[in-house]
Amino acid sequence: MHSSSSGRKKLFITLAGITILLLIFMGVLQLTQRRGKVRINVYKMPSFATVSVNGQSSSDTLYVSPGKLTLTVSADGFESVEKELEVSGGSNHVIEEFISLTPQSDDALEWVNSNAAAYQSFEQKAQQSYQTESEEMASRYPIIQDLPYRGDLYNIEYSLDNDEFRIQIEADGPLERQVAIERIKSMGYEPSDYYVEFLHFDNPFTSRNEALGSE
């Protein structure tokens, strides 16, 4: 009787040990798999919509390697949304995507009407997320507070595409481009610190290199 109880105890301890070891192993495996990857949280409306990445079904939280990917959110009766993302950054980087689908069928429209409060709350969350992101961006790139600048001869705007910040200058001629740069300096910013892109401008050296097949 006593030896049977002791045997059960040993079996229990062994099983518990194996379970703990397995859990630790799975945790380490998961951490290794996520290493160097970027987390994307997809918030979607309607909540039953499905998420796919590069055509493959995915969960709402995904870990991806830096690079380009296509995120698709779709649901029956709703217009699908497809987003091209260029993911950059380290393992601490988290991207939040709020995607709300537009109803197309009568059933979908009825679902939206009966879930108006949920839709409203979703929009508020998306707005909050956007605001937080904008504030973070303003602290990282203070020039945002002074842009866009729209003048008679040139416009200075900015783009923020997948964490890549660019100052965009739209000007018709060389003088206007130079004056736009001086304008940025007069705002108290050093153009060298930013990626400055000139819209509708062809760099003759790029085309020359392409023509010559330069390395």
Partner 1 sequence: MNSNTSFRRLAILLTILSIVSGGMYAAWSYMQSFQYLTVKQEPASTTGTTISIIQENSKEVVASSISPGETIKIKKGSYRVRFTGNSYREEVIEVTLDSKPETITITPSYTSKKLSETLHSERSAIREAIDKKFPGATQSYTIEPGKLYMLGEWYGTKLYVKQSPEQARTNYVDIFRLVLKKEGSTWRVITDPPQLILSSVVHPEIPREVLVDVNKNPEPST
Dihedrals phi, psi of 193, to nearest 5 degrees: -80, -5
Candidates 192, 199, 200, 213: give the one binding partner 1 (CB under 8 A): 192
* Cβ-proximal residues to 153 (8 Å cutoff; 6+ apart), any chain: 171, 172, 176, 179, 180
Any contact of residue 194 with partner 1 (CB under 8 A)? yes
Candidates 39, 93, 125, 177: give the one binding partner 1 (CB under 8 A): 177
Element (H, E) at 76: none
Selected range binding partner 1 among 11-19, 49-57, 62-70, 177-185, rule: CB under 8 A: 177-185
Q: Which two tokens stand for residue 114?
A: 């009966």
Helix (H, G, I), strand (E, B) or coil at 1: coil
Smallest distance, partner 1 to C-beta of residue 188, A: 14
Any contact of residue 117 with partner 1 (CB under 8 A)? no
Candidates 2, 57, 145, 205: give the one binding partner 1 (CB under 8 A): 205
Candidates 190, 199, 200, 213: give the one binding partner 1 (CB under 8 A): 190
Smallest distance, partner 1 to C-beta of residue 214, A: 8
Smallest distance, partner 1 to C-beta of residue 165, A: 8
Smallest distance, partner 1 to C-beta of residue 95, A: 20
User: Do residues 133 and 80 lie in contact, with contact meaning Cβ atoms separated by under 8 Å?
Assistant: no
How many positions of this chain bind partner 1 (CB under 8 A)? 24
Rounded Cα distance between 98 and 127, Å, is 9
What DSSP string runs through 138-198? HHH-GGGGG--EE-SSEEEEEEEETTEEEEEEEESSHHHHHHHHHHHHHTT--GGGSEEEE
- Which amino acid would we find at residue 66? P
Rounded Cα distance between 152 and 201, Å, is 18
Smallest distance, partner 1 to C-beta of residue 148, A: 18
Q: Mask 147-176, x = binds partner 1 (CB under 8 A)?
A: ------------------x-------xxx-
Interaction site with partner 1 (CB under 8 A): 165, 173-175, 177-178, 181-182, 190-196, 198, 201, 203, 205-206, 208-209, 212, 214
